[in-house]
Amino acid sequence: MFKNPFSFDGRIRRTEYGVSFIIFIVARVIVYLIAISLTSNSYDNSGATGLGWLFSIPLLWFLWAQGAKRCHDVGNSGWWQIIPFYALWLIFQDGVHGANEYGENPKGIGNQNQQNFTQTNQPTNQQGGYQGGYQGGHNNPNTNYGSTENPQDKGGYKDGDLYN
């Protein structure tokens, strides 16, 4: 958990995103309270607000990076987090199973199944593609689908041809 928390690359789970959100809120409150205590003028809190936002830049970077990684986990660009209330949806939405364009599944679920699927569904012949003719009655010269002896006859089928 929290591997490269300031990086925008990769994917994270819902748990890490939720914990990151809580850390941001708590740290933001602490930074604001410290900023208020540093400004001694109790009548004007504008200095505390400005100082609080200045010290919150690393916190915002942390939150946006974690949000981008969570967006990547559900298969979207990190820019989707600017949609209002999308951050709440990210807490409840399950990530994409298996690898996607942003990386491997952080849960590790689906990666093995996807590898088995791609290995078992490869073509069985070495050249790939379609081999042999249609195995119905089209290769039989006794059928009424056209003549296979006359190449000008477009109604017939030859071995290895799908269509004429």
Let me know if 111 is exposed, middle or buried by CB neighbors in 10 A (0-12, 13-18, 19+). middle
Q: Reply yes or no on whether the pLDDT at 155 is more than 60.
A: no
Residues 151, 99 share a domain: no
Mean per-residue pLDDT of the chain: 74
Residues 152, 87 share a domain: no
Residues 152, 98 share a domain: no
Query: How many domains does the chain divide into?
Result: 2
Average pLDDT over residues 127-144: 50
Q: Could you report the per-residue pLDDT of 19-74, keeping only the tens digit for each?
A: 999 999 999 999 888 877 777 665 666 666 777 778 889 999 999 999 999 999 99
Q: 70 is written with which tokens?
A: 């969570």
User: Does any domain span residue 163?
Assistant: yes
User: Does any domain span residue 7?
Assistant: no
Domain extent at residue 99: 14-109
Q: Reply yes or no on whether the pLDDT at 151 is more than 70.
A: no
User: Does any domain span residue 24?
Assistant: yes
Residues 139, 101 share a domain: no
The Cα-based distances of 18 to 14, 67, 84 in angstroms read 6, 10, 17
Residues 140, 81 share a domain: no
